[in-house]
Structure 1
Amino acid sequence: MYSYRTVRLSGSGFTTVTVKAAPVLFDGYIKGTPNEPFENLVAFCVDVYHSISLADYKPDLTYTDDIELEHNSHWDPNKRDYLSDDEIVQIGKLVNYGTEVWYNHNISTTAKTNELASVQGAIWKVVSGLTVTATGNTTSINNILNTRIAALSNASTYTSAFTYAEGPVYSSIKLLTPFKDGKYPKQYPHKDLTQSFAIGDAVPEPGTWVMMIGGFGLAGAMLRRHRQQFLAVKINS
């Protein structure tokens, strides 16, 4: 499935932007075990202040999973909003729910695309506090997405909105944050590094991840800088 939906991110002090809403797929391996690669690792963006491009990075992107999700990933400490414990749990459950949706083969292509876009939109809304509004799709799809984003981002009732869950939805995630050996050694968030992502509970053991953009099977984070601000998943014209 190679499709996505579009949403608009807006809010006070934030440059309004229209973005592709969908999880990203990565290929790669855990550093130290290059003979045991993984493919199509489903990851959700939790960072609207950095960028990543649809490109064959040389060298490959390097991420670590030993940093916890604590804030909105803003590179400016004065604009870094820390998340509450409840918000961290909610984001974790959304990531795990979205991963279940990805692997649920009983959902039609259209419904899956809509739901995954809604999950990504809800994650952005919770992690950043921005307004997330479906736009650029058909009117009926915009209405579906806006309803689902509202339901999945509702702090009180979001778990009742896990329509396509096939089992328990847990909150445990790994936050994958970028770094460069010798230059930006695990200085997160640094304004010159790529976006951070979260992956669900059922993943390999902790370590350093060597990541390649294996696919934007559900579209993903193609973006560019805009007036020195790093934006999530900018659609290039």
Structure 2
Amino acid sequence: MKHAYLSTGVALVLALGVAQPASALVKITNVATTKGSKAGTVSYFGSGRSVNAGQFLLTGKDLDTNAAVSLKTFCIDIFNTLKTGTFTRTDDVNVGGQYAAKQDQVMALLGNVSITSADTSAAVQLAVWEIAYETSTTKYSLSDGWFSASGSSLSAAKTLANGYLSKVTKGDWKALANTQLNSLTADGNQDQIWLGTRPPQAPGAVPEPASWAMMIAGFGLIGGAMRRRSVQARFA
């Protein structure tokens, strides 16, 4: 999604770049959840929104090979609503720079939690959003800050998510070896991410990870500029 906002002391780029040659087109024909979801309210920059948080199960086909595709994903883009359609799949996303820490945190989160229930599913989604839309990389809480969550149905998930976030920030959880962050992106649709297995490299081969023109700079949140104008965000 090609959104960019400047704020006082904060530059947010909510953008997923042009796919590199390693990318592929994927047509998603069905959207479901893996273990259900939990309804509640999230507050993004002071604006409350009703959400159903949980892991998606997306099925369809690779348009290049016609092979069936089944992906378990989480939403990273809160500006659009997920629907079926054609996406660009990019494997081995690399944010890089000063924001690499947030990518590592997301990868650590996704690699260390097993989705066994609607609560754990919702908890991981909440934690992904918290990492993505808070400016800090060392202090996360779904009870306050730029991004927060509330509602009785989200209570258990919120407690779990805060626990996950604590393990991530303390370094108890690390990104797993031989894993990579993959994404689905499409204009007018909702960007998705998931943790994939890094394919083995042939001896002497030089890895060529997909590069991004722009990805959520800092996975941050919009600051002062959005205070001065009304911007509506749509959540999953």
Q: TM-score, normalised by structure 2?
A: 0.57
Q: 2:88·2:185 contact (CA, 8 Å) conserved in 1?
A: yes
Among candidates 52, 61, 67, match of residue 29 of structure 1: 61
- Matched with 1:45 is 75
Aligned to 2:111, the other structure's residue is in SS state: helix
- Matched with 1:135 is 151
Q: 1:95·1:198 contact (CA, 8 Å) conserved in 2?
A: no
- Matched with 1:61 is 86
- Matched with 1:195 is 190
Q: Could you say if the C-alpha distance between residues 177 and 152 of structure 1 is closer, same or farther in structure 2, counting changes exceeding 3 Å?
A: same
- Separation in 1 of the partners of 2:60 and 2:112? 23
Q: 1:6·1:18 contact (CA, 8 Å) conserved in 2?
A: yes
Aligned to 1:38, the other structure's residue is in SS state: strand
Q: Which runs of 5+ in 2 are unaligned?
A: 1-33, 135-145, 201-208, 211-229
Q: 1:152·1:159 contact (CA, 8 Å) conserved in 2?
A: no
- Separation in 2 of the partners of 1:232 and 1:83? 27
Give the superposition deviation at 1:152: 1.7
- Separation in 1 of the partners of 2:98 and 2:234? 19
Q: 2:180·2:198 contact (CA, 8 Å) conserved in 1?
A: no
- Matched with 1:92 is 107
Aligned to 1:48, the other structure's residue is in SS state: coil
Q: 1:133·1:146 contact (CA, 8 Å) conserved in 2?
A: yes
- Separation in 2 of the partners of 1:69 and 1:231? 25
> Which AA in structure 1 matches 2:81?
S
Give the superposition deviation at 1:203: 7.9
> Which AA in structure 2 matches 1:146?
K
Aligned to 1:51, the other structure's residue is in SS state: coil
Q: Could you say if the C-alpha distance between residues 69 and 148 of structure 1 is closer, same or farther in structure 2, counting changes exceeding 3 Å?
A: farther
- Matched with 2:5 is none
- Separation in 1 of the partners of 2:129 and 2:37? 16
- Matched with 2:142 is none
Q: 2:92·2:180 contact (CA, 8 Å) conserved in 1?
A: no
Aligned length: 163
- Matched with 1:189 is none
> Which AA in structure 2 matches 1:20?
N
Please give the residue correspondences for 1:70-219 in structure 2 after superposition, counting only pairs within 5 Å. Answer: 70=95, 84-98=99-113, 101-102=114-115, 107=116, 112-129=117-134, 130-137=146-153, 142=155, 144-154=156-166, 155-157=168-170, 159=172, 169-170=176-177, 172-178=180-186, 193-202=188-197
- Matched with 1:217 is none
- Matched with 1:181 is none
Give the superposition deviation at 1:197: 0.7
Give the superposition deviation at 1:63: 1.9
| Bigger strand share | 2
Higher normalized contact order (CA 8 Å, seq sep 6+, divided by chain length): 1
- Separation in 1 of the partners of 2:56 and 2:98? 23
* Identity of matched residues, %: 16
- Matched with 1:216 is none
Q: Which runs of 5+ in 1 are unaligned?
A: 72-81, 163-167, 179-191, 208-226
Aligned CA RMSD, in angstroms, stands at 3.4
- Separation in 1 of the partners of 2:199 and 2:90? 11
- Matched with 1:75 is none
> Which AA in structure 2 matches 1:22?
G
Among candidates 44, 49, 53, match of residue 17 of structure 1: 49
Give the superposition deviation at 1:67: 8.1
Q: 1:151·1:157 contact (CA, 8 Å) conserved in 2?
A: no
